[in-house]
């Protein structure tokens, strides 16, 4: 009999990752603006890296052994850090233009892209369930994008940024296939750290291009960034790795399609305008993603 602990972990992770989109929207997209999306992205991973370092110190890891272990994975690790940096910049900058539910739904369509990569490059089989999930997710996702495109001025910028984030997260997910033998805690710590450094040039380019950076130091900014870095990017990964150890990666990841629903609840609480046909299309798209994820789990 499976103990409830991994499912408690997964429920907490879904709540943290879904709420992170909402927190980013509150701080970066709704008046008064507390912090620019790109700065939110930087501090999320920077604080996440510090949190993961603290976890490794608590585990009393040997730095030399960690270095020797990670050297063979240096190339996919650097790629994963780059894609992760692009993902976090795009998604949290999109919070300046679109609701948290919109961004979350678009980002969580990435399993459709990963599925295509697996079929064409990794030789994975296309089962009837996967076909159904793919067609459902793709068609409903396209309609969601089309119906959401021109809701308000600047909305299309947010959609484009969310799409960039989706493809970047798909690419990051693919790199994890080539990091399968590496220590997850070490990989995530180094990835967070390198991604933080990679975000800095984007910040400089943003400033040079005339962009305005906002960073209001108050209790809400501090609490929001601590939530994003320590909880959503530190503690959440610790629980996710623990859940993987207990029930396996395919089963653990199969529950993550629920994340957008947390963000949609956040939109409702914030009073964000809802486009009901677009919302319905988004929910159907996520259900298609759920079929793809559940199919992966059943085949493992």
Sign (positive or negative) of CA dihedral 99, 262, 85, 164 = negative
For Cα atoms 267, 90, 105, give the angle at the middle one, nearest 5 degrees. 40
Beta strands per DSSP E along 21-174: none
For 180-220, what is each residue's pLDDT tens digit? 888 889 999 999 999 999 999 999 999 998 888 999 999 99
Measured CA to CA, the distance from residue 73 to residue 187 in angstroms comes to 9
pLDDT in tens, the chain (300 residues): 457 888 999 999 999 999 999 999 999 999 999 999 999 999 999 999 999 999 999 988 888 888 888 899 999 999 999 999 999 999 999 999 999 999 999 999 999 999 889 888 878 788 888 899 999 999 999 999 888 876 656 688 999 999 999 999 999 999 988 988 888 899 999 999 999 999 999 999 999 988 889 999 999 999 999 999 999 999 998 899 888 888 877 788 888 889 999 999 999 999 988 788 888 999 999 999 998 888 777 766
Q: What DSSP string describes 222-276?
A: HHHHHIIIIIIIIIHHHHHHHHHHHH-HHHHHTTGGGHHHHHHHHHHHHT----H
Sign (positive or negative) of CA dihedral 138, 269, 218, 228 = negative
């Amino acid at each position: 009999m499976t103990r409830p602990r991994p499912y408690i972990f997964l429920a907490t992770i879904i709540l943290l990752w879904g709420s992170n989109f909402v927190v980013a929207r509150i701080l970066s997209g709704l008046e008064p603006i507390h912090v620019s999306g790109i700065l939110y992205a930087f501090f999320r991973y920077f604080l996440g890296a510090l949190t993961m370092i603290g976890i490794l110190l608590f585990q009393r890891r040997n730095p030399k052994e960690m270095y020797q272990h990670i050297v063979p994975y240096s190339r996919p690790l650097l790629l994963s850090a780059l894609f992760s940096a692009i993902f976090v910049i795009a998604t949290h900058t999109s919070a300046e233009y679109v609701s948290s539910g919109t961004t979350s739904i678009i980002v969580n369509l990435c399993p459709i892209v990963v599925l295509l990569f697996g079929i064409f490059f990794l030789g994975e089989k296309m089962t009837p369930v996967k076909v159904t999930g793919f067609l459902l997710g793709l068609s409903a996702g396209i309609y969601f994008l089309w119906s959401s495109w021109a809701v308000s001025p600047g909305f299309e910028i947010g959609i484009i940024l969310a799409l960039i984030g989706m493809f970047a997260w798909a690419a990051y997910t693919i790199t994890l296939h080539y990091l399968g033998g590496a220590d997850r805690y070490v990989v995530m710590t180094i990835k967070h750290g390198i991604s933080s450094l990679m975000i800095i040039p984007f910040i400089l380019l943003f400033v040079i291009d005339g962009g305005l950076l906002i960073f209001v130091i108050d209790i809400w900014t501090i609490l929001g960034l601590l939530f994003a870095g320590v909880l959503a990017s530190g503690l959440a990964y610790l629980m996710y790795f623990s859940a993987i150890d207990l029930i396996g990666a395919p089963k653990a990841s199969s529950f993550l399609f629920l994340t957008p629903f947390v963000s949609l609840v956040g939109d409702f609480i914030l009073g964000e305008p809802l486009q009901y046909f677009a919302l319905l299309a988004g929910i159907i798209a996520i259900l298609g993603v759920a079929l793809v994820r559940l199919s992966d789990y059943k085949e493992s």
